[in-house]
Amino acid sequence: MVWESGRVFSLRFTTLVEAPLTVAFDVARAPGRSWPTPLREVESDRPYSDVHVTESPTGRGRVTSARRFTATADGTLVDQRIDGGSGLRGPLGWVADRVLRRRLQRAVRVDLAGYVAAAEARAHEVVQVVGAALVDAGRVLVAQRSGGPYDGCWEFPGGKVEPGESQLAALVRECAEELGATVEPGDFLGEVPLDGVVGGGPRGASTMRVWAARVVSGEPVAHEHAALRWVTADELDDVDWIAADRPLLPAVRTLLTRS
Ligand SMILES: Nc1nc2c([nH]c(=O)n2[C@H]2C[C@H](O)[C@@H](COP(=O)(O)OP(=O)(O)OP(=O)(O)O)O2)c(=O)[nH]1
């Protein structure tokens, strides 16, 4: 990218936040607290990406901040790219660009330190649900809820993470309770916001993270569900899923076609 006047620089910051995707995104809503000029949001695709712009302090150039939020097994990877320039030409522009670049670098570092702490603290306040896509011979186990608001809908075995419990420990515990089987978690598959799904809570109050897994001992039995079913990749779309789960189906389909 080249600005009409002056030169341009690029900065890149990659940060792992130990918080779910929705939390990492929602807490990041107001970036640029330490920036020289206020940022304006021009694009937002919650909880995946956003773009902000600001004028450079000279009033002649522009700075753009584009962030991408990706759910990973360990939390959320925040990838931020800043493109900007003072908008000034010649030797003065050269100096102004260097100063602006350094100020932004410092400002982002200060912002990130506060942001990571705030997101990780907030992560303890949201309801985190974990789910297991249990795979065997090209099929995945789906479980039918019994009672409650999603009575009759199908879901991944799993449930809420308890305070102080790790997500994978919760996954193994929930599968043992619900299926009477021991499971071993594998690859992380993805995360979906459960906005309003769990107890009708507000936006960002709950989220679900799903892992591929396999049964290592015992035969799954529906201890808490109405029924269990093993389904193939071709049958995935026809299942009457809890609606929030549907965005995870492409990842499950890929998993099944690989297994
Ligand atoms: N287990 C599971 N829960 C899901 C899925 N999709 C989805 O929206 N949910 C929602 C439904 C529930 O509101 C919430 C999980 O709660 P739960 O009732 O199964 O969890 P739990 O066993 O820990 O519940 P409890 O102790 O509070 O009764 O997440 C899914 O695929 N699997």
147 token code pair:
């009672």
Q: What is d(CA 222, CA 142) in angstroms, rounded to the nearest whole number?
A: 10
Task: Please report the pLDDT score of residue 5 as a whole number.
Answer: 47
Do 86 and 179 have their domain in common? Answer: no
pLDDT tens by residue, 122-135? 999 999 999 999 99
Q: What is d(CA 212, CA 161) in angstroms, rounded to the nearest whole number?
A: 17
- Ligand 1 within 6 A of CB of 210: no
What is the total count of domains within the chain? 2
Q: What's the whole-number average pLDDT of the chain?
A: 92
Per-residue pLDDT, averaged over 2-24, amounts to 83
CATH of the domain at 16: 3.30.530.20
Task: Please report the pLDDT score of residue 199 as a whole number.
Answer: 67
Q: What pTM value is reported for the model? A: 0.88
Contact 154/237 with Cβ under 8 angstroms?
no
3-state SS class at 163: coil
Identify whether 3 is part of a domain.
no
- Ligand 1 within 6 A of CB of 198: yes
Mutate to test the pocket of ligand 1, among 242, 245, 248 (most ligand atoms within 8 A of CB): 242
pLDDT tens by residue, 35-65? 888 999 999 999 999 999 999 888 889 999 9
Whether the per-residue pLDDT at 255 is higher than 50: the answer is yes
Q: What ipTM was predicted for this assembly? A: 0.94
